[in-house]
Amino acid sequence: MFRLVYLLVTFLPIVLLNSGCGNAKTANLVSPSTTAAAAATAPVSRPPADNTFVASGPIIVENQVDVAATREGVVASVSSDPGDRVKKGQVLALLDDRQASADLEAARAKTRSIAADLKNWEAESKVLEADYQRAQKMWDAKLITKEQLEHAQYKAESDQWDVKRVSELLTNARLAERSLELELDKTRIRAPFNGVVARRYVRAGQKVAIGDRLFWVTAQGPLLVRFVLPERFLGHIKRGEIMRLTCTDVKEQHLAKVTEISPVVDPSSGTIEVLAQVVGEQGEFRPGMTASIQVNDFQ
């Protein structure tokens, strides 16, 4: 009896202790899953959605062309280099114009000669017209025969035709002179608009043919940026809309105003083309740079 009581007293605390540890382990095993479940059911905080769509495109200018030779010849001199600012009509280079100048002077001399002949014919025409009027009066007075009157009439009419013939010759001579003036002007290579010389392709003494590139002249403004947007923007973006313009190469921000919107969608890419013009000072922006355009996204 005492042995049984001794055993119960000895092992009962151990059993109770094991039961307590088992409950602690169970609690420890359940706690992570319980925490994860609680975290899954808790609302997640997200940053607000950005409503800006960013597109990119090149910065361009409307006036940017290669100035080509419009006649063949040898470059006599070059008066502009890359980086030079030029005005519309300013001479960039000269071709050898000696032959063109000589041809023009010959044509002008011919024009002057024909003009003098025309004045002579016009003066003679007035004399013959006066003779005919006098013959008409004499015929009315029965002082000359019908043949004499007709002779005076035919001479006056014939001289009128000579005046018209020489007048046409003078017109043709003036047109030929004008044509040679244009040929002479082609030896003056001129800037087509206000801008800057971006490249020079020729040097003095070089022979050029019709169509050869001589200079690359570009305007410096107004600056434009051409970019594309997904077709879902069609009908939402409007002319006159203001957008923010940035460039990674320049630490500046500018505004651009939409000037053109393509009315059709490119079926191969599902995009529309948009053209915007930089508003205000262009700063360090230059044609050829790639710009990023921030467009308000309606989605």
Could you report the per-residue pLDDT of 89-128, keeping only the tens digit for each?
999 999 999 999 999 999 999 999 999 999 999 999 899 8
Within this chain, domains 54-63+219-296 and 65-93+188-218 share the same CATH topology: no
The reported pLDDT for the residue numbered 39 is: 33
* Architecture of the domain made up of 54-63+219-296: Beta Barrel (2.40)
Q: Would you kindly state where each structural domain of the chain is located, as residue ranges?
A: 54-63+219-296, 65-93+188-218, 97-186
Three state DSSP letters for the chain: CHHHHHHHHHHHHHHHHHHHHHHHHHHHHHHHHHHHHHHHHCCCCCCCCCCEEEEEEEEEECCEEEEECCCCEEEEEECCCCCCEECCCCEEEEECCHHHHHHHHHHHHHHHHHHHHHHHHHHHHHHHHHHHHHHHHHHHCCCCCHHHHHHHHHHHHHHHHHHHHHHHHHHHHHHHHHHHHHHHHCCEEECCCCEEEEEECCCCCCEECCCCEEEEEECCCCEEEEEEEEHHHCCCCCCCCEEEEEECCEEEEEEEEEEEECCCCECCCCEEEEEEEEECCCCCCCCCCEEEEEEECCC
Indicate the fold that domain 65-93+188-218 takes in CATH. Answer: OB fold (Dihydrolipoamide Acetyltransferase, E2P) (2.40.50)
The reported pLDDT for the residue numbered 77 is: 96
The reported pLDDT for the residue numbered 152 is: 86
Q: What is the pTM of this model?
A: 0.64
The reported pLDDT for the residue numbered 19 is: 41
Could you report the per-residue pLDDT of 145-178, keeping only the tens digit for each?
888 888 888 888 888 899 999 999 999 999 999 9
| pLDDT tens per residue across all 299 residues of the chain | 334 334 443 444 443 434 443 443 333 333 333 333 333 333 333 333 457 889 999 998 888 899 999 999 999 999 999 999 999 999 999 999 999 999 999 999 999 999 999 999 999 989 988 988 998 999 888 888 888 888 888 888 888 899 999 999 999 999 999 999 999 999 999 999 999 999 999 999 999 999 999 999 999 888 999 999 999 888 888 899 999 988 887 888 889 999 999 989 999 999 999 999 999 887 888 888 889 999 887 66
The reported pLDDT for the residue numbered 9 is: 39
The reported pLDDT for the residue numbered 4 is: 39
